[in-house]
Amino acid sequence: MQPRDRDTPLVSVVIPVYNGEPFIEDCLQSVHEQTYRPLEVIVVDDGSTDRSLEIVKRSPGEIKIITQQHRDVSGARNAGIREAAGAYIALLDQDDLWRPDKLIKQIDVFRQHPEIDLVFTDLIKFFPSGKRHHAADKDRLARSLTDDNLFAKLVRKNVLMPSSVMARRKSILDAGLFDEAFKTCGDYELWLRMAALGMKFRYLPEPLTLYRHHGQNTSRQTAIMHADRVMAIEKAFGHPKLPQRHLPLQRQALAAAYALGAHTFFSIRAYEKFLENARRALAYDWRVASPKLVSRYLRSWLFARMGRARRDA
C-alpha cells in the first residue's frame, strides 16, 4: 500500500448520535460534500431508540458505525476518537452542518502552523424559522486569543463549539480525552485542560460551521449546564500542570461563570436562582456588576418578592 502524502493526512470525522432522526441525514450530507479527502467518517450510535441508525446505514459513502449503550455525548466522542485512524479529529454534532470547504481550510491552517494542536472556526446559528444569527462578541473574543492569553480568556468565556473544532488526535489523547463525568460542558472542560497544558489553538474567522438551534439542544438544560460549567472551571484551576501565574484568575473566572448562570436563569424567569447566582458572582468579584446585571437584579428581587407574596396569600 502506498504511504499517504503527509500534506494530505487522513481526517477522522466523529459524529455522536442519540435519537437524531430529524437531523442526521442533513448532517451526513454536509460531510459527504466536503472538498477535502481522505476522510474517515465514524458515527457512534449512543443507544438511539429511533430510526437514526437505519438512516446512517442507508447514507451514501463509507461510514464506520460504532454502537453502544447510552453513555452521553462525551462517552460517544471518546469511543469514536479511540477507534479513529486519522491524524486529525473533526468533531460534528448530529444536528449541526458544515460548509463544503470547512475541513480543507482547517487542514490548510495546520499545514501553515505545524506546531498547533487545534483549529476552530467561526459559526452561524440557524433556527427552524429560517432566521440566522452571528455572535459578533464571540468572534471578537476568538480573534483576540493568543498562545499567551488562551487560558486566561477561555476560562472566562467559552468560544469553541464542538462542531467547529478539528484537533490532532494525539493532542486529544495526550490531554486525556473527554471527561465522561460531565453530562454537559465536557467539551469546554477539555478545551480548558488542553489550554492548561499549554497546547496551542488557532481561530479561523470564517463561519464554516452551522449550529442548529432547537428545543432539544443540550445547552437548554440550564441548571445542569451551569453546574457543569462551574465544575469545569474549578477542575481547570486544580490541574497539577496549570502554570502558577494563572491561579489569581480563579475568582474572576468563577465570578464570570456565576454571572453567566444568573443571566441564563433570568431568561427562563427563574428569579430566585438569578438572585442566588448573582450574589455568588458579586462575592467572587464585584467588578461583574454590569448595568445589565444590576438592572436584572432589581427586577428579579421585585419579581421574586411578588411571587413569594402570591404563594403566602
Residue with cell 476552530: 120
- pLDDT tens across 215-262, in order? 654 545 889 999 999 999 999 999 999 999 999 999 999 999 999 999
pLDDT band at 8 (very low <50, low <70, confident <90, very high): confident
pTM higher than the cut 0.85: yes
Segment holding 292, helix H or strand E: helix 291-312
Q: What is the model's pLDDT at position 308?
A: 81
pLDDT band at 139 (very low <50, low <70, confident <90, very high): very high
Q: Which three cell numbers stand for residue 225?
A: 449546564
**How many angstroms separate the CA atoms of 169 and 86, rounded?**
7
Please give the share of the chain, as a percent, with pLDDT higher than 70.
96
Q: What is the model's pLDDT at position 276?
A: 97
Please give the share of the chain, as a percent, with pLDDT higher than 90.
89
Q: What is the model's pLDDT at position 7?
A: 73
User: Is the pLDDT score of 1 beyond 70?
Assistant: no
21, 52 in Cβ contact below 8 A?
Answer: yes
Contact residues for 282 (Cβ-Cβ < 8 A; gap 6+):
255, 288, 289
Helix (H, G, I), strand (E, B) or coil at 309: helix
Q: Which three cell numbers stand for residue 48?
A: 438511539
**How many angstroms separate the CA atoms of 81 and 62, rounded?**
17
C-beta neighbour count of 215 within 10 angstroms: 6
* Of 211, 168, 162, residue with least CA distance to 191: 162
Mean pLDDT of the chain: 94
90, 14 in Cβ contact below 8 A?
Answer: yes
195, 150 in Cβ contact below 8 A?
Answer: yes
86, 106 in Cβ contact below 8 A?
Answer: no
User: Is the pLDDT score of 56 beyond 90?
Assistant: yes
For residue 175, what are the CA distances in angstroms to 170, 172, 178, 191, 257? 9, 5, 9, 9, 23
- pLDDT tens across 280-305, in order? 999 999 999 999 999 999 999 999 98
For residue 80, what are the CA distances in angstroms to 83, 106, 168? 5, 20, 14
Q: What is the model's pLDDT at position 313?
A: 63
**How many angstroms separate the CA atoms of 265 and 199, rounded?**
33
Q: How many CA atoms lie within 13 A of 289 on its CB side?
A: 11
